[in-house]
Amino acid sequence: MQLLILGTLALFVGVTVAVPAQEKRVHHKPDLSDHVHDDAHGYQYDHEAFLGKEEAKTFDQLSPEESKERLGKIVDRIDTDKDGFISHAELHHWIKHRQRRYIEENVDKHWKEYDQNKDGKIGWIEYKNTTYGYYMDVEFDDVEDKSSYKAMLTRDERRFKSADRDGDGVATREEFTAFLHPEEFDHMRDIVIQETIEDIDKNGDGKIDLQEYIGDMFNAENGENEPDWVTTEKKHFSEFRDMNKDGFLDASEVSHWILPGEVDHADNEARHLIHETDKDNDGRLSISEIMDKMDFIKVSTITDYGTLVEDHDEL
């Protein structure tokens, strides 16, 4: 079972919720909030961007006194250079951290399982033995699709080596995060693209044609009619995805498709919060400015995270 779960992770890393078939290959950054960003109708977007969606749900459980106390702890965490102010860079880093929370939680989930010798690192041998150990002993003889599992092992090793930037065969936490979530790291882009092409390219020519592209999303069964979205995807393939109009998607075109350049919403939100809160217009936030803007920042929302700060030193 463990092998099957990890195999699925390797094929569709980064996909954490049900999405339309035509979107499953595209890696988007997680949203900062499910709410519309409109201060005229409330500040829930800002609350969730600052805290993260789950923590923001319990904001109303704190008294004003608790809020102020915990706000100070939050500000201290954000103020990494300890100069008494929150800069744009510090606030941007914090919001990005909240945005990446789901990734960190996934890494936490797997870290203890694979760090067998508890040395704070995960070697390729540790990972391989934990994931494939039993099957390696029997050369995959009791696995129904032997070739697929061998290919999975080869693929995992290639990805691990790409994530292992110093080439020592051992992954630090950051390197292991790149292994599990390569779509989040610039130096892993080529691996994400290569794996996507391998998944879809059925004839092994290193490119994706229209039939392979649609086949990855939809296969008609028992005379099933083609959905309208399939017709739309065929049009997208020819008009947008196939940029050089040669009838195929090469690595560069696949990159534009599955790893689209996106607006940095965390950066925009950091600028927005500073603009709304920075009374003296010095481009940074003091604790007094934050306290003066309680209605906007919603201190009780922010300080709900204070309980987590006390319990989770890694944050």
Separation CA 29–CA 26 (nearest Å): 10
Mapped onto helix, strand or coil, the DSSP state of residue 146 is: helix
Separation CA 211–CA 237 (nearest Å): 10
What integer pLDDT is reported at residue 135 of this predicted model? 59
Is residue 230 within 8 A of residue 20, CB to CB? The reply is no
Which of 127-136, 201-210, 228-237 is the least confident region?
127-136
Give the orientation angle of helix 146-163 with respect to helix 189-200, to 10 degrees. 160
**Mean of pLDDT values over 115-131:** 89
Separation CA 196–CA 133 (nearest Å): 26
**Mean of pLDDT values over 260-284:** 83
What integer pLDDT is reported at residue 280 of this predicted model? 93
**Mean of pLDDT values over 298-304:** 38
Q: What's the one-letter identity of residue 12?
A: F
Q: What angle do CA 168, 171, 175 make, to 5 degrees?
A: 115
Q: Is the pLDDT assigned to residue 101 strictly greater than 50?
A: yes
Top-ranked range on mean pLDDT: pick from 212-221, 237-246, 296-305? 237-246
Is residue 86 within 8 A of residue 285, CB to CB? The reply is yes
Residue owning tokens 């290193």 = 206
Q: Is the pLDDT assigned to residue 215 strictly greater than 70?
A: yes
Give the pLDDT band (50/70/90) at residue 261: confident
DSSP state of 40: G
* Percent of the chain predicted with pLDDT > 70: 68
Rg of the chain, C-alpha, whole Å: 23
Q: pLDDT higher for 289 or 306?
A: 289
Give the pLDDT band (50/70/90) at residue 174: very high
* Tokens standing for residue 218: 């939809």
**Mean of pLDDT values over 164-171:** 96
**Mean of pLDDT values over 225-245:** 92
Give the pLDDT band (50/70/90) at residue 220: confident
**Mean of pLDDT values over 120-140:** 79
What integer pLDDT is reported at residue 273 of this predicted model? 83
* Percent of the chain predicted with pLDDT > 90: 36
Q: Which ranges constitute the DSSP H helices of the chain?
A: 2-11, 44-51, 53-56, 64-78, 88-99, 101-114, 124-137, 146-163, 173-180, 189-200, 210-215, 228-236, 251-258, 265-277, 287-292, 294-297, 299-311
Q: What angle do CA 86, 87, 91 make, to 5 degrees?
A: 75
Top-ranked range on mean pLDDT: pick from 64-68, 270-274, 299-303? 270-274
* Tokens standing for residue 299: 């201190």
Q: How far apart are the first and last CA of the chain?
A: 32
Q: Kindly report, residue by residue over 179-190, the tens digit of the pLDDT.
A: 999 988 999 999
Q: pLDDT higher for 25 or 231?
A: 231
Mean pLDDT of the chain: 76
Residue 254 CB-density burial (10 A; 0-12 exposed, 13-18 middle, 19+ buried): buried
Mapped onto helix, strand or coil, the DSSP state of residue 248 is: strand
Is residue 53 within 8 A of residue 34, CB to CB? The reply is yes
Is residue 250 within 8 A of residue 207, CB to CB? The reply is yes
